[in-house]
Amino acid sequence: MNPFAEFPPALILLLGALLVPFLKGNWKSVYVIALPALTLLYILQLDSSEGWKFNVFSFTDEAVDFLRVDKLSKAFGIIFSLNAVIAFVFAFYVKNSTQHVAALVYIGSAIGTVFAGDLVSVYVFWEGMAISSTFVILSRKTEKAKAAGFRYIMVHLLGGLFLLAGIVITVANQGGSIAFNGFDFATEQHAGTWLILIGILVNAGAPPLSAWLPDSYPEASVTGGLILSAYTTKTAVYTLLRGYPGWEPLIWIGCAMSVYGIIYALLENDMRRILAYSIINQVGFMVCAAGIGSPEAISGATAHAFCHIIYKSLLWMSAGAVLYRIGKSKCTDLGGLYKTMPLTLIFGTIGALAISAVPGTSGFTSKTIIIHAAEYSDQAGIFWAWLILEAASAGVFLHAGIKFPYFVFFNKDQGHRPKEAPGSMLIAMFILSFLCIFFGIYPQPLYDLLPYAVDYNAYTWSHIITQMQLLMLSALVFFLFLPMLKRTATISLDFDWFYRKALPPLGRGLDKTLNGTNAAVSRGFTSGVIAPIVNFFESGASRFVAWILTPFWMSLGYSAEKIDAKQQSLFKRAKRGAFPIGITAFFAVILLGLLSLIFLLEK
């Protein structure tokens, strides 16, 4: 079998990124759109996983598998590459090679992760995502972006260490097997699987390890935040669905995420931080589905991840268009934009309705599968999880469905009169808006992509009535409590407060203790003890010879200046190890004399 007959689709993006710096102008923009489009076409025709398996480790007979193709990996690969095409259409105006290269490597690494067939290849692409996404943040080139990028990479390096430690322990427990086919909750709980899970949850944005997300994504560029919103957390969802289906703690972690994201999104003043916290909320539904672990829940999480990427990208595009035109992101600085950016408003509202699971949108046909799976699961205590998800579904409409468009487009007019978004941005938003409505009205093409067959109909009267009741209740609560929901120019403290405040003094303390100890040792031992010893062995013998020869030179009538010159010459020769033959013979005679004396004394 030719190993190159089928190759990892990630290579199209990873290798294609190398040519980006050599292209100019619109050709560069066309090229970066073409790469993920080609990747999408390639993924669509994949139907097997033959090839790209290499035996590289001596401790196992298993091959490193860079291409595992099944319905789960293919569904994520399709939406990852499709979203990339549309995101680069939105970013057509961007000519920054650094940002494009970082984004392509980031997306390629995410696609590489979902097609990786073993723990080793997962880790390789996982770390590729962490490094390249950091450069996506840094490409904005502001001081805030640099600081956020530094904190971001620190958190993800920590998560990567958890993942690596877990892989090492797990491979050892599996007798050298590097397989990644799903861990059994009943029989495979050990330090390795739990450490891998923690590493994955860092990327999923699970509290208290979630503050990196609202801290970093809003500090990226207009298109950087858009691209970041789609991949890291959804790659984590994929690995949970692949490796941890049915792990019950994930149910409650997911429920906590869904509520946590809503609370902070309601408190937030910055429109892009609202959307960042909303990611945590939405990913919570998917994490909960992974914990339920039934075929319906796994397919529901896959469908929701697919639709979430579409409508969340649409929301980030509408927010990005506003930021691009005005240069402001805080709700207290915005308002009245419906007058001059009506198309951006319409597209953003479609995204807001989709994330709120309004009937007729993609969120309704995907999120409700997860809620249905929770409702009819036979796991202990699942009723409370179902109740939390229902309440969280209503809360989504409160913060993303109403708050975001209201405060950005309809709040008190701040006097901004920007132009409508550029044409490429409007085209990208139109495509995503169409997909939100298409999959909401006709979800069967989406259901056909899912890993398990879905025997579910969202459009029953009970589903529609229940959902509309929740949505109308949320709308009523929003407008009744609108004075309390109006934001002021404040910030919300998250768990990042702890490492923002604790790490700088900790770093200074370590600098004073560890580096201070090192300096004291250097002064006391290196300079005080080692230096004299080194100096003795370096010049002690020559000084001894000079001391012996000085009376001889004086008897010859040498002046003080000439004796000093003789001594300096001797010292230089000693450092170079180059002596006249006579002096070397003199040393040899002295050494032989000393040896003879020692021999006689021992007799």
Residue 440 confidence (pLDDT):
94
- Split at pLDDT 50, 70, 90, the class of 501 is confident
State the Cα–Cα distance between residues 28 and 460, nearest whole angstrom. 48
Note the pLDDT tens digit of each residue in 424-479: 999 999 999 999 999 999 999 999 999 999 888 889 888 888 888 888 887 787 77
- Residue 269 confidence (pLDDT) above 60: yes
Which of the pair, 350 or 547, is modelled with greater confidence? 350
- Residue 320 confidence (pLDDT) above 80: yes
Residue 485 confidence (pLDDT):
62
Residue 527 confidence (pLDDT):
67
Note the pLDDT tens digit of each residue in 128-164: 999 999 999 999 989 999 999 999 999 999 999 999 9
Which residue intervals of 356-495 are DSSP H helices?
362-375, 382-396, 404-405, 423-441, 444-448, 461-480, 482-485
Angle between helix 222-243 and helix 71-90 axes, rounded to 10 deg: 180
State the Cα–Cα distance between residues 505 and 522, nearest whole angstrom. 25
Residue 603 confidence (pLDDT):
59
Residue 2 confidence (pLDDT):
44
State the Cα–Cα distance between residues 551 and 471, nearest whole angstrom. 107
Residues above pLDDT 90, as percent of the chain: 52
Q: What is the arithmetic mean of pLDDT over 505-534?
A: 76
Beta bridge partners of 53: 65
Which of the pair, 406 or 372, is modelled with greater confidence? 372
Which of the pair, 172 or 51, is modelled with greater confidence? 172
Q: Which two structure tokens, joined as six digits, stand for 418?
A: 């920007």
Average pLDDT, the chain: 86
Number of other CB atoms surrounding residue 405 within 10 Å: 23
- Split at pLDDT 50, 70, 90, the class of 488 is low
State the Cα–Cα distance between residues 40 and 38, nearest whole angstrom. 5
- Residue 4 confidence (pLDDT) above 60: no
- Split at pLDDT 50, 70, 90, the class of 1 is very low
**Pick from 32-36, 53-57, 168-172, 515-519: least confident:** 53-57
Beta bridge partners of 54: 64
Residue 535 confidence (pLDDT):
67
Which of the pair, 73 or 572, is modelled with greater confidence? 73
Radius of gyration of the chain measured on its C-alpha atoms: 33
State the Cα–Cα distance between residues 110 and 323, nearest whole angstrom. 27
Residues above pLDDT 70, as percent of the chain: 88
Residues written for the chain = 603
Q: With contact defined as beta carbons under 8 Å apart, do 218 and 156 qualify?
A: no
Q: Where are the beta strands (DSSP E) in 213-260?
A: none
Which of the pair, 214 or 564, is modelled with greater confidence? 214
Helix H or strand E encompassing 53: strand 53-54
Residue 62 confidence (pLDDT):
73
Supply angle C-alpha 89, 365, 262, rounded to 5. Answer: 80
State the Cα–Cα distance between residues 56 and 186, nearest whole angstrom. 32
Which of the pair, 528 or 369, is modelled with greater confidence? 369
**By C-alpha distance, which of 124, 113, 117, 107 is closest to 182?**
117
**By C-alpha distance, which of 134, 139, 136, 129 is closest to 149?**
134
Residue 143 confidence (pLDDT):
92
Q: With contact defined as beta carbons under 8 Å apart, do 309 and 234 qualify?
A: yes
Residue 3 confidence (pLDDT):
47
**By C-alpha distance, which of 350, 339, 386 is closest to 367?**
386
**Burial of 568 by CB count in 10 Å (0-12 exposed, 13-18 middle, 19+ buried)?**
exposed
State the Cα–Cα distance between residues 558 and 513, nearest whole angstrom. 56
Note the pLDDT tens digit of each residue in 219-249: 999 999 999 999 999 999 999 999 999 999 9
Residue 195 confidence (pLDDT):
96
Residue 538 confidence (pLDDT):
61
Note the pLDDT tens digit of each residue in 35-58: 999 999 999 998 866 566 666 665
- Which residues are within 8 A (CB) of 21 and not within 5 positions of it... i.e. 6 or more apart? 97, 101
Match 């980030």 to its residue by tokens.
316
HSE-up (13 A, CA, CB side) for residue 577: 1
